[in-house]
Amino acid sequence: MEFLDKAKNLLSDAKVYWRTPLKGRYMPFKEIAAYSFGGIGVYCIIYMSYTMIISGTNVVMTNLTGIPPKYLLIIYYICTIAGIPFTALRAHMIDNMRLKAGKYRPWILGMGIPSVVIMLAMLFTPYQSMSKAAAYIITTVYSLALNFVYNFFYEAYENLVFLLSPNTQERADVSSVKSITYSLAPTVLNPLLPLMSKLLNTGDMYDVRIYKVMFPIISVIGIALSIVVFANTKEKIIQAKTHVIQIGFFEAIKAVAKNKYFWINILAMIAVVVLLMFGTLKGIDIYTHHGEAVVVPDVKGMTVAEAGAVFDSRGLACIVSDSTYVKDKPAGCILDYNPAAGQKVKEGRIIYLTINAINIPLQVVPDVADNSSLRQAEARILASGFKLNDIQYVPGEKDWVYGVKYRERMLAIGDKVPMGATLTLMVGDGNREVLEGDSLSADESMGNPDEAVSEGSAADESWF
């Protein structure tokens, strides 16, 4: 009840103070809602950036660009080092560019839209048609540009709340509301990957086709909600026009450049980054056995045990992944495998085998008893892949098939036997005298053959 009362009070306050702030507060409910729910759009752009920002473990970018992980790692280090002057440049732009829209608000769109444009350009650039050098260069340029504009966009949104109200408690309350609504975005977006993978039938959540479908839609939502933030918020703390920056940007750079401790820190940082980069690359080479390869041997026709011994001698392993049936091949022999013979693989690689089925698959025998002539039955049986023994004649209508046997066992409708099995047809010899226990009674055998065929199925049940 207490929760419901609070909810009712909140709704009541929202109606009254939608455009006008509460007493002692500076933000009306409309502005709080715009900043908080607009954060869902900001997270949409952040969600895209998690996929598109370069790192050594970014599988999507590896698949998209074709650049090996260790070279993506080099691009990542370049962007990390470039982030140092980028941070200083962003701070200078925010502090010195006195825009009418405010200190942070303009950059939500001013850097949000370029962030989306760069990420979509990265996604749809035809890297595969470029030379390796061109792909490396354009990926680096994209990454540097995204590093600058995306961080600018993110910082503008996060810091905007500090200028929306001079009231510390109000800022804390708005930040809490924002955190709750902001978290709705991953709840909605995270299940989209497996869903899109299923819809596109890719079977791989790192397939770039998924992102080429998802990201244009997510980017439209992200920009639309960012516009909501920009259009419905107003900075309350404004820097006075008479305020004078005591030291300019370039003067500050010169002053820092004369500080020896700055250079000591920079050189130490560069040394650490270089050591980390080469250490990581060397570690990757060692872990992946770079430059080492084993040629896959030819083991077709061998048994799994024989092939396992051959693979083991070369540092490889094998497992049976599938089986099929080829009647001319021995049961259990290897028909195919992946990677194929002659390919170069790393030591320890698992080879996936396809073997000939050990047990012959069963197949339904065509229904020819009491409904087919000898010629029709032979055609259907042979067309199904079965073989035929010598015909076994029984008293009955001449050349009329009364049953099918497999290894002296009479078969019923729907019975299964091994593929390619040899069958025996029970065919009438033209003698209408029917022995006791046969499928037709004496009276039936003297009647119309068609009647015998139509009524034979009931009698046949006693045979089987």
In this prediction, residue 463 carries a pLDDT of: 36
Count of H helices and E strands in the chain? Answer: 17, 12
Alpha carbon of residue 375 to chain centroid: 55
C-alpha to C-alpha distance for 237 and 358, rounded to whole angstroms:
80
Q: What six digits make up the tokens of 141?
A: 């340029």
162-174 burial by CB neighbour count: b if 16+ within 10 A, else e? ebbbebeebbeeb
C-alpha to C-alpha distance for 254 and 207, rounded to whole angstroms:
48
Instruction: Name the nearest CA neighbour of 228 among 416, 40, 434.
Output: 40
In this prediction, residue 19 carries a pLDDT of: 86
Instruction: Confirm if 38 and 174 have CB atoms less than 8 A apart.
Output: no
Instruction: Name the nearest CA neighbour of 69 among 298, 256, 284.
Output: 284
C-alpha to C-alpha distance for 366 and 65, rounded to whole angstroms:
55
Per-residue pLDDT tens digits of the chain, which is 464 residues long: 565 666 677 677 778 888 888 888 889 999 999 999 898 999 899 889 888 888 767 888 988 998 888 888 889 888 888 888 888 888 878 877 777 888 899 999 999 999 999 999 999 999 988 898 999 999 999 999 999 999 999 999 999 999 999 899 999 989 988 888 877 888 888 888 888 888 877 767 788 889 999 999 999 999 999 999 999 999 887 655 555 555 555 666 676 677 777 778 878 878 887 888 788 777 777 776 666 788 899 999 899 999 999 999 888 999 988 888 887 788 889 999 988 888 888 888 889 999 988 878 888 999 999 888 999 999 999 998 888 988 899 998 888 999 999 988 898 888 989 888 899 999 998 876 544 444 444 344 434 444 433 333 333 433 33
Kindly report, residue by residue over 151-201, the tens digit of the pLDDT.
Answer: 999 999 999 999 999 899 999 989 988 888 877 888 888 888 888 888 877
With 0-12 / 13-18 / 19 or more C-beta atoms within 10 angstroms meaning exposed / middle / buried, residue 294 is middle
| Angle made by CA atoms 437, 442, 447, in degrees to the nearest 5 | 130
Kindly report, residue by residue over 27-67, the tens digit of the pLDDT.
Answer: 999 999 999 989 899 989 988 988 888 876 788 898 899 88
Which residues lie across from 319 on neighbouring strands?
352
Alpha carbon of residue 307 to chain centroid: 33
Measured torsion, CA atoms of residues 115, 119, 124, 130, in degrees rounded to the nearest 10: 100
Would you tell me how many other CB atoms lie within 10 Å of the CB of residue 358? 12
